Structure 1
Amino acid sequence: MDMEFVIITGLSGAGKSQAMKAMEDIDFYCMDNLPPQLLPGFAELCYESKRNIKKVAVVVDIRGGKFFDALFNSLDKLKNKGLKYRILFLDASDTVLIKRYKELRRPHPLSVNGRIIDGITKERKLLEEVKGKSDYIIDTSNLTIGMLKEEIRKIFVEGEESKKLTISVVSFGFKYGILLDADLVFDVRFLPNPYYIEELKEYTGNDKNVRDYVLKWEQTKIFINKLIDMLDFLIPYYIKEGKTQLVIGIGCTGGKHRSVAIADVLYERLLEKGNRVILNHRECRIN
């Protein structure tokens, strides 16, 4: 019997528990916090089970303490037994992880002296090798729970091809602060502003009337084409250097009109080119 066996791992606070819930929603039998040294035996039990288990996901993370050192040994045993598996790695930026820990008022499991960033840095180092061996890497920095579920559905239901680089296109408003985790930021405040058009003011860039207004200008068309050309050049080099997450910030004054419309178009154009892309409007939520 063929069985789909997925190992979920990654940074503490990156969303492994939410990922496991998403896997349960698509009919995976899930096990949380399984010590890595038990992986081979657990996989064999699932393969031989009379319950006809066809899809299994296990969360393996730093909570396993010293057991985490046994992960690669266990993965070798799985291969030697002919048991196929895939690894899903959950990541997030340091800034986002720190914010999440502060909101939950929880200590990081590796933060001995109480400094969250020290624990994150240590954990990144420990997980560096397994991240490099992962089949799928999802950066949750700019994802809502709904967006994470959709990414998992694309991979494990629709069978999306494994792509190590995830591009996040994020619109934002400069008046509310720059996008701190962006790799590339583009300021579109040079475009005519729909906010000053009375009949468009209360709409957003997701609405057709505002989108049509923003996109009708010649400078808008030139800007989008030049931006796509630049990204076509950059993306292969980012992939070559092992980058797994590229965050592109599109900013305007309030983050609801011009930046939203441009981000929508950029998202669509990047998707058409076969990239793995996530869209997020910081000031104008779509989820």
Structure 2
Amino acid sequence: MSDASRLPAGQHILIITGPAGAGRTTAIRALEDLGFEAIDNLPLSFLPRLFAGPPLERAVVVGIDARNREFGIDRLVGALEEVANLTGESPALVYLDCGTDTLIRRYNETRRRHPLSPTETPRAGIERERALLAPLRERADVLIDTGEMTPHELRAEMARLFGPKDAQADLAIELQSFSYARGTPRGADMVIDVRFLRNPHWNLALRPKNGRDPEVSAFVLGDSGFDAFYSRLVDLLRTLLPAYRAEGKSYFGIGLGCTGGKHRSVAVAEALSKTLAEDGWRVSIRHRDLERAVKSATSDLGMGVA
């Protein structure tokens, strides 16, 4: 969820900050992919120097980290004023935030220590950082709550807010193959079970390969039930995707699952990616469990997964 009501039109200088773990690095990388010149964790004294030369040739995003030894609210405000005087443009302050429990969960998942509480609990560092950043949150031009966002959804939101007009109007689609044995992917808007298709795992010649190999793809797509299933799936998406885009949705995740995430789901995801791209959609694809499945392929000799 974001609030961009105060964002100036045609903004060329973005400052991104927020508590550690809220997604600053992901957001900066997304903007870099959109053509921004990206600089992260810049000392505040260097900020005005970036803009003291010739006029900007492209948009710039600067990440500001509360851990920086020069960090201070007054110092940052002063640096932003200097930048405005040099460029004639007030930088837009983008603040990424999420709930304390979400930040704690993210730190527990990565087993990282919080930078502001290296010898204490993550909660202590998070609360300390929140207090430090509170004035910036109040001043933010754009506030984005990343608590319910996957990294892919955050990237899509950055494209919607700050990308070129064609990217803002478009819908980013992510296809993700996965193994039901390891759970459905988080953030998927639609999940399709393709375990009804014939399984290449039981073909000894195909078992070591994966769904990106032409032989496996031909085997899966040659199933007698595939054509009817696939044509209905494509027809459904051709109905839904334009409607979601018209409603302003910027991201749509589709999970395609089979038993092991190696053969059938991968082959169908690859085929669907090509079809949707030919229809003009922006499509990315991820095979969540493929690498892990390939590593374990040599041990799957009896009761297998595929």
Cα 1:27–1:181, aligned 2, differ >3 Å: closer, same or farther?
closer
- Residues 33 and 238 of structure 1, relative CA distance in 2, 3 Å threshold: farther
Which of structures 1 and 2 has the bigger CA Rg? 2
Counterpart check, 1:58 vs 2:67 = no
Residue of structure 2 in register with 1:207 after alignment: 213
8 Å Cα contact 1:172-1:254 kept in structure 2: yes
Q: TM-score, normalised by structure 2?
A: 0.58
- The aligned amino acid for 1:174 is Y
Aligned positions of 1:82-161 closer than 5 A: 83=89, 100-102=106-108, 103-106=110-113, 130=142, 140-141=151-152, 161=166
- What fraction of aligned residue pairs are identical, expressed as a percent? 32
SS in 1 for 2:167: coil
User: 8 Å contact 1:168–1:278 — kept in the other structure?
Assistant: yes
CA 27–177 in structure 1, closer or farther in 2 if over 3 Å, else same: closer
Query: How far off its partner does 1:207 sit?
Result: 0.7
Does the CA-based 8 Å contact 1:13-1:100 persist in structure 2?
yes
Q: Which residue of 2 aligns with 1:16?
A: 24
Provide the rounded CA distance (Å) in 1 between the counterparts of 2:101 and 2:174: 16
Q: For residue 228 of structure 1, report the CA deviation from its aligned partner.
A: 1.8
Q: Distance in 2 between matches of 1:178 and 1:253?
A: 11
Contact 1:101 1:108 in 2 (8 A): no
Q: CA RMSD in A?
A: 5.2
Q: Residue 167 of structure 1 contacts residue 248 of structure 1 at CA under 8 Å; is this kept in 2?
A: yes
Kindly indicate whether residue 239 of structure 2 is the aligned counterpart of residue 233 of structure 1: yes
* Aligned residue among 260, 269, 277 for 1:271: 277
CA shift, 1:198, in A, is 1.2
- Cα deviation, 1:7-65, whole Å, max 9, x if unaligned, reads 556785354336647849x8936253788xx9xxx57x645415x76343212589899
Partner of 1:243: 249
CA distance in 2, matches of 1:274, 1:234: 15
TM-superposed CA distance for 1:90, in Å, is: 8.0
Contact 2:28 2:63 in 1 (8 A): yes
List alignment gaps of at least 5 residues for structure 2: 1-10, 293-306
How many residues are treated as equivalent by the alignment? 249
Query: Residue in 2 aligned with 1:176?
Result: 182
Distance verdict in 2 for CA 1:47–1:234, change over 3 Å: same
Q: Deviations over 1:193-225 (max 9, x none)?
A: 111111101110011110111112342122222
TM score, norm. by length of structure 1: 0.62
Gaps of 5+ in 1: 133-137
User: For the Cα contact (< 8 Å) 1:91–1:139, is it kept in 2?
Assistant: no
Partner letter of residue 256 of structure 2?
I
SS at 1:162 equivalent: helix
